[in-house]
Amino acid sequence: MDTVLGINLPTWWFLLIGALISGYGILDGFDLGAGAVHLFFRKEESRRIALNAIGPVWDGNEVWLVIGAGALFAAFPMVYGTILSVFYLPFMLFLMAIIFRAISIEFRSKEEMAWWRKMWDISYSVSSIVISLLLGLILGNLIQGIPLNANHEFVGRLRDFFNPYAILTAVTVLALFSMHGAMYLIMKTEDRIYARLTIIANNASKFFILCFMATSLATLIYVPHMTAIFKSHPELFVLPLAAVLIVLNIRRSIEKRQYARGFASSAITTALLLILFAMGLYPNLVLSSIDPRGHISIYHAASSDGSLRTMLLFAAIGMPLVATYTIFMFWTFRGKVKLEKHSY
């Protein structure tokens, strides 16, 4: 098998897609979270400020989803087809929510009427919450494994996806994003909305820690295959330990009102949790809950070496560009939000 820098190509793509999903979770995570807590702001001006805090950047954040999905399609087409078709209705709901969210942000400012703005505020917030929950629900099911038979065919039913563990991960993702988004908004705001957000961030972080503990415990008890790697490689145990410390650091930062630090910590938390998931998964991409022969491994699902190699070159050229645009964009809109003529 072809290797680049000693790592084989499917593993490269496993890592790259993991990085893209982490990037998506961190970036879109905060604007989804900002949407999730949107209805807690009562004043029209506060809502406008909150919306304009993500206004110039949310579209760029969503790019990471588009690239991540495209990369999965290109590198592991079998997994792309399997995951999307198995979770058909959840993904359809996800797409509708994405549409509603995009048009809510775009349409809200176009009319002055109170009912119009209220309607789009609700649509924006509900769709943000639905997207976060669905991402968590799908993640929870992928952690447990889905019913695939030995031929990798799905033999389950839709309602199986709504199991307690998956619902727990769904709520955890929502809590994580809400906390993450609240801290982002704190960095971008002042005065009244700032004060309101400090309370929201405080409560969201407490709720997240509760969810985090519950999910960790549930994973240890009910999803033992996710922790198997720590038995064979005890030194890797440093990662879950780091996750716990960094989560505690979120609380500490919030209490000390160091929100930039808190925001960075919740970003790292997002990445660490996905890394732990990836470690439990590797070298598989999709686990079967009923038959180990149904697991889909990166080697089984990968595109041809030639294609993976070309795409790796594209990523090597393209990802630094994408990172540069992202940094340039955030740098251009640095500082607290000021409403002006071109604002939403």
Partner 1 sequence: MDNVELLSRIQFAFTIAFHYIYPPLSIGLGVCLVVMEGLYLKTKNKVYEELTQFWVKIFALIFGIGVATGIVMEFEFGTNWATYSRYVGDIFGSALAAEGIFAFALESAFLGILLFGWNRVSPGVHFMATVLVALGSIFSALWIVIANSWQQTPSGYRIEGEGMEARAIVTDFWAMVFNPSSIERYSHVLIGAFLAGSFLVLSVSAWYIRKGEYLVHAKAAFRIALWVATVSALGQLFTGHKSAEVVTEHQPAKLAAMEGHFEKSAPADMYLMGWVDAKTQTTTGLKIPGGLSFLVHQDFQKPIPGLNSIAPENRPTAVNFVFQTYHLMVAIGMAIIGLTLFSMFLLYKGKLFQTRWLMTVFVFSVLLPQIANQVGWYTAEVGRQPWVVYGLLRTSDALSQAVKAEHVLTSLIMFTLIYLMLFLLFLYLLNKKIQHGPDISNDQDETTSRMNPSLSPILNE
Q: Where do contacts with partner 1 occur on this chain (CB under 8 A)?
A: 52, 55-57, 59-60, 62-63, 65-67, 69-71, 73-78, 80-86, 88-89, 91-92, 94-96, 98-100, 102-103, 105-107, 110-111, 153-154, 158, 303-304, 306-307, 310-311, 314-315, 318-319, 321-322, 325-326, 328-329, 332-333, 340-343
CB 289, min distance to partner 1, A: 15
Contact indicator for 130, 99 with CB cutoff of 8 Å = no
CA 173-144-13 angle, to 5 degrees, is: 75
Nearest-CA neighbor of 175 among 141, 201, 144, 138? 201
Minimum gap (Å) between residue 16 Cβ and partner 1: 10
Which residue's CB is nearer to partner 1, number 67 or number 166?
A: 67
Nearer to partner 1, 46 or 303 (CB): 303
Closest alpha carbon to 219 in 161, 156, 166, 284: 166
In the complex, least distance from residue 64 CB atom to partner 1, rounded to whole angstroms:
9
Paired sense of beta strands 296-297 and 3-4, if any = unpaired
- Residue closer to partner 1, measured from CB, 113 or 232: 113
Q: Which is nearer to partner 1, 40 or 344 (CB)?
A: 344
- By beta-carbon proximity to partner 1, the closer residue of 75 and 129 is 75
Least spacing, CB of residue 249 vs partner 1, in Å: 30
Distance of closest approach, residue 333 Cβ to partner 1, in angstroms: 7
Helices (H) and strands (E) in the chain, counts: 13, 4
Of 88 and 237, CB closest to partner 1:
88
- On the 0-12 / 13-18 / 19+ scale of CB atoms within 10 A, 305 is middle
Supply the minimum distance, in Å, between the C-beta of residue 302 and partner 1: 9
Which of 336, 326, 330, 332 lies closest to 24 in space, CA to CA? 326
Contact status, residue 249 vs residue 265, Cβ threshold 8 Å: yes
In the complex, the smallest distance separating the C-beta of residue 13 from partner 1, rounded to whole angstroms, is 10
Closest C-alpha to 67, from 1, 104, 23, 111:
23
Cβ pair 203, 250 in contact under 8 A:
no
Q: Which is nearer to partner 1, 92 or 199 (CB)?
A: 92
> Can you say how many angstroms the Cα of residue 131 is from the centroid of all Cα atoms in its chain?
10
